[in-house]
Amino acid sequence: MKTLSWSLIGLALLGAALPPVVGAQGKPLNVTGVRGLTFGAVFPGVPRAISRTDAANAGQFDIGHAKFSPIQITFALPAVMTGPAGATMPLVFGANDGGYSSPETITSQVGFDPRVAFATALDKNGRAAVFLGGTAQPAPSQRAGNYTATITMTITVLP
Amino acid sequence: MRISKLSLVVLALVIGASTVQAQTNNASITATAAVQTPINVVGAQQLNFGNVFPGVNKTVAATDLTNAGRFDVTGQASTPVTLTFTLPATLSSGANTMPIDTYTGISAATSAQTGGVAFNPVTGANPSLSGAGALFVWIGARVTPATNQAQGTYTANVTMTVVY
């Protein structure tokens, strides 16, 4: 009997120590890239800024997980965009270029600095959207052509 | 085999500790931009008043394809640009000067000035480059030599700046 009790204690501790593979409601952590950050036509020597509130051009990610989950948002932000023949164009992100939206609407955001980790928590719906702006800085002699860069957002569920 | 109660607890903790890890996930998007063709400006033709006589004003119209000054611009097709000018008030020949004024301008998509649009170089203009990414700009003006204007060759620089 005592052995059984200790077994049960051990199993209880095991259950408490193991993190949920899914959320408390059985939800996996979903992170989706919804829309790219689009600068469009850029002219040599003329910086082009896209606001995180730009509904057509701001980058967007969606997050889904267990409701009220504490999370941390981090970005891998490129310093340049790459174009024809290896030409590069500086890409700059500022302290107000990140936007977190629990209602998942671009018109309702909390601004944050995408260059540093941002901690928050999902709401009762277990969903949120993250918007991203930035500034392209073409040189006066910037080579004409199409430029691209990859932006990665990582979500970590906090304990 | 008897398993000690301590062993059971330790086993549970070991299993638990070895599987604790932060849950993470990530996604990527692409930033894109299309850099347009840079602007190139060439001073293609001088504003040439030719022979000028003391006391006799002489005007070169912007419509004078032979004598008007001309700038040739190339850049991104069908894109609006802003033209601004630095216009001298005098021409110089050594220490001697001769007034120049009444500047006129015409911009067009072709070197034949077809469909040209007049503008005032003092205030500048905002034409668009053609579908081929070209723009031609002519400048005319008037010189007013004094009756005792010293003989000589008088010159000055007219500068045009073009930006998107």
Residue B58 placed within a domain? yes
Whose structure tokens read 């310093």? A79
Residue-range definition of the domain harbouring residue B83: 40-163
- Say whether A40 and B30 touch across the interface (CB within 8 A): no
Residue B115 placed within a domain? yes
Residue B69 reports pLDDT greater than 70: yes
Read off the CATH number of the domain in which B141 is found: 2.60.40
Query: Degrees (nearest 5) of the Cα angle A30, A129, A111?
Result: 135
Give dist(CA A72, CA B26) in Å, integer: 11
For chain A, domains (ranges, CATH) are 23-157 (2.60.40)
Give dist(CA B99, CA B91) in Å, integer: 6
Residue B119 placed within a domain? yes
ipTM tops 0.90 = no
Across the A:B interface, residue pairs with CB atoms under 8 Å apart total 170
| B18 and chain A in contact, CB less than 8 A | no
Which residues in A lie closer than 8 A to residue B78 (C-beta atoms)? none
Residue B32 placed within a domain? no
- Say whether A13 and B13 touch across the interface (CB within 8 A): yes
Predicted TM-score (pTM) above 0.90: no
Instruction: State how many domains chain B has.
Output: 1
Instruction: Return residues 24-53 of B near A (CB < 8 Å).
Output: 24-39
Which residues in A lie closer than 8 A to residue B163 (C-beta atoms)? 45-46
Q: List pLDDT tens digits, range A3-61.
A: 555 555 544 444 444 444 344 446 799 999 999 999 999 999 999 999 999 999 999 99
